[in-house]
Structure 1
Amino acid sequence: MSTLKRISFGDDLSTPRDRRRAIWHAHLFDHAFLRTIWSNLYEIAPGVWRSNQPSPGRIARYEKMGIKTILSLRGDSNVSFNLLERQACEAHGIKLVTSRKTGARTARRGEDYVHLIDLMDTLEKPFLIHCKSGADRTGMASALYLLHSEAASIQDAKKMLSPRFMHFRSLDSGVLDYILDSYEQDLKTYGPIPIRDWFLTRYDREKAQQFKQARTTS
């Protein structure tokens, strides 16, 4: 069904009619109508912001805020919300960068998290990070940015995954909390280790997956 939705409309902006259809697609199937009154916008560090999926109108406002770069954690498929974002970023002189999908409800490879950390290192400030709701993937990216680039404490980084941003560890996305909890435990057990090095040397993806499976079946 989702494939049929994309084929029928929402994957083309070549005419005014197609653009209107893409906007409707974003509202109906990506729940953009909810984001007209809720942006989940927050500055996590000087010149670094987080939010949910921005509309073209919000991207225009972000230009006025001085935002130079937007990092989307939603991939680069040619579907309505991505097409509208690309068009708006081009119109307002904002560089749009897309990352590998990190996942909100599953533990990814350590290399994927390292890729995200390294990618954020390259972004021109002020920049903004977003996923769909700005809750889970964006929260994890924000936590990793604070740990890697701001030398934040693990306690402060974990605040990026909280109900304040509509993240709830009791849901499947709690696997992200488990990953940060595991890092915190290793800090206590073995002493300081940069988060990037931890993902390459001590991160146990299989354990994280097992935690999710155990919690789901309990």
Structure 2
Amino acid sequence: MASQRGKPLFKQYTRKYGDRLRAARADGQTPWRRCLAWFEALFVDHGVFRLLFWNKRKVSDRLWRGAQPHPWQVRALGRQGFRTIVNLRGPRDCATYLFEKQAAAEGGIRLVDFVMTSREPPSAERLHALKDLFASIDYPALIHCKSGADRAGITAALYLLVHEGRPAEEAKRQLALKYGHIAQGRTGVLDHFLDAYIKARDADGIDFWTWVDTAYDPVALRGEFQAGMIGNLIVDRLLRRE
């Protein structure tokens, strides 16, 4: 059922009561607030599903990808020798983020916030910033978004392409259904981005950074892409991806 403004009642409910919940749990420093924080992390941020499946996968010998980790998973990464976690969701007033920051500090891991998008192709500026990030962080490292499917996928693909010099076709395999990525929905614009480069490279041999700096138009590329209705239904309504 939709509201008078055309927005799903579920979204209005979670926005309204999510704000109240965040105000009540504050920084989670008392037992009651800690319980509220866990409720927020598990049910508002859908962390209950990640209890069953973290989606942690190996990208290369130095990089792993995954969904939003729970605190004990972050601490386990520290014991395994991981040096950096790159949070592709960005900093948020969310219990999940507060838990992650605390656990990273306890585990001796550097937490880096770097925002990526799942329904827009990355800007040239964002691509250059990502290149600098890959060159500056300590490894081994984990990159994660919420589900480990879309933003983690395009970031892993770009890591292989621009940092390790792997072929674009190999890099694109990081955007695959086995990771939970749905190319037929709006998130398929990420596949379209890589396909556009592959097409340009095959036409005249252009290298990736020359293409980004001289020919790449993310606005036009976004306008070209048409998502499927069923794919959108799965990604936006069923899976509720960010």
Q: Which stretch of structure 1 is more off in the superposition, 154-163 or 73-82?
A: 73-82
Residues 72 and 131 in structure 1, CA contact (< 8 A), matched pair in contact too: yes
Corresponding pairs, count: 214
Match in the other structure for 1:201: 214
Quote the RMSD (CA, aligned, Å).
1.7
Unpaired runs of at least 5, structure 1: none
Change in 2 beyond 3 A, CA 1:78/1:196? farther
The partner residue of 1:32 within 43, 47, 72 is 47
2:59 partner letter: I
Match in the other structure for 2:60: 45
Deviations 1:19-75 (A, max 9, x none): 221111011111101111111111111121100000001112111221110000011
SS at match of 1:106: coil
Matched, 1:65 2:60: no
SS at match of 1:114: helix
Identity %: 32
Match in the other structure for 1:81: 96
Q: TM-score, normalised by structure 1?
A: 0.92
Matches within 5 A, 1:91-110: 91-99=106-114, 101-110=115-124
Residues 73 and 137 in structure 1, CA contact (< 8 A), matched pair in contact too: yes
Question: Who wins on radius of gyration, i.e. which is larger?
Answer: 2
Change in 2 beyond 3 A, CA 1:197/1:129? farther
2:202 partner letter: K
The partner residue of 1:166 within 145, 155, 180 is 180
Matched, 1:127 2:141: yes
Task: Tell me which of the two structures has the higher relative contact order, counting C-alpha pairs closer than 8 angstroms and 6 or more residues apart.
Answer: 1
Change in 2 beyond 3 A, CA 1:7/1:122? farther
Instruction: State the shift of 1:147 in Å.
Output: 0.4
Q: TM-score, normalised by structure 2?
A: 0.83
SS at match of 1:71: strand
Match in the other structure for 1:179: 193
Unpaired runs of at least 5, structure 2: 1-11, 230-242
Structure 1 ranges of 4+ moved more than 6 A: none
